[in-house]
Chains A and B, each alone.
Chain A
Amino acid sequence: MADQKVLKKRLKALMQQPSNQVCSDCPEKRPTWASLIVPPSDSPPGTEKIGSFCCLECSGSHRRLGVHISFVRSVNLDSWKEWEVRAMENGGNAKVNAIFEARLAQSGRKKPTNLADGPTRERYVRDKYERRKFYDPAGFSIDARSTASHDGQG
């Protein structure tokens, strides 16, 4: 079994990046939950799993999607596996949203507020990850490490 201390350290380092300090699906700050997203079957071959950090409330909506779409983990309450941490490093909120919110602005839709009720969040999360209404797979080619350094400058 991989050393939890080391894995958690890698997670905490990721959580320091500015884009990961806001929930991927609402404006809530300092999210401590994570959603591991299975790449849609029509994404480019060899596409690896990606993960985003989300808040407790939004993680509830992710759980309704089913594990064939996303799998929810807690940074503090769960132990992590190597592939799960790698998915977070491979993804991160900037990349996940470059993929799943690529067409959000042009759609005219707004993200839920951090005070939104459960059904409002669930509708948005389903539109974003299940129905893929704002999706553009081009984002999969983004190197998560380069967005991280960009974050650092901003």
Chain B
Amino acid sequence: MIFQSIYETWRSLLDTLWKALGFEGKEGSLVVLGLDNAGKTTLLHRLRTGGDVRSFPPTDRPHQTEKFESQNIKFQAWDMGGHEAVRHLWEDYVCECSAVLFLIDAADTKRLEEASFELDALIGEKVVKGLPVAILLNKCDLEEEAMSTTEICKRIQYDDLRRMQGEDNISIFRISVLRGEGYQSAFRWIADFL
């Protein structure tokens, strides 16, 4: 009995210490945005199951994923539809979240301007102020089609976005959901904000 209570005291003490050091108990809520067919649902599926990539029908209404873990942090995410008529909902969901992921199809040269327009509008919103925004350039596995980061930065006027959002609150990552590469560093970056 005594041993047990000593053990429990120690354990809760250790738990407190562990949490104080920031090793445990961190949680984050995300909202995943971007044009239709950027790879939002597929990314979240991959994060949640760790496994196979498969095709998904377009997302027509927002839905919340089950919890998943990345960089030892528990995350919950809102998967938003990317089609034009549902983009007005983005703002409402950003309010509830601690970080924003914005996916861009790096291989779709024709729609980069449209993506840039939406990103610009988003960064201008009050609710996004102070939140970390990770821009994920997806489909970089398509080596021939995918544009370079330099080209994309120029075309989306990344310097202006940084100025508006604050340099420390925005970052850009090359990823491939298909290969399971690149988004880990984005999560590491987000983890520092939580």
Contacts and interface: CB of A to CB of B under 8 A. Distances in A.
Contacts of A72: 36-37, 58
B54 interface: yes
Contact of A74 (B54, B55, B83, B110): B83
A77 B84 CA distance: 6
Contact of B60 (A63, A66, A67, A77): A77
Given A61-B55, A72-B58, A122-B55, A67 B110 contact: yes
A60 B56 contact: yes
B86 interface: yes
A3 interface: no
User: Contact size class for A?
Assistant: 20 to 34
A104 B27 CA distance: 52
A76 B61 CA distance: 13
Interface in B24-65: 36-37, 54-58, 60
User: Contact size class for B?
Assistant: 10 to 19
A44 interface: no
B86 A63 contact: no
A118 interface: yes
Contact of A56 (B36, B60, B107, B108): B60
Nearest to A68: B145
Given A63-B37, A79-B84, A74 B58 contact: yes
Contacts of B54: 118-119, 122
A78 B60 CA distance: 11
A76 B84 CA distance: 9
Contacts of A121: 55
B108 A67 contact: yes
B85 interface: yes
Interface in A46-74: 56-57, 59-61, 63-64, 66-67, 72, 74
B81 interface: yes
B56 A118 contact: yes
Nearest to A76: B85
Interface of B: 36-37, 54-58, 60, 81, 83-86, 107-108, 110, 142
16 contacts: A56-B57, A56-B60, A59-B57, A59-B58, A60-B55, A63-B37, A63-B58, A66-B142, A67-B108, A67-B110, A72-B36, A72-B37, A74-B60, A77-B81, A77-B86, A78-B85
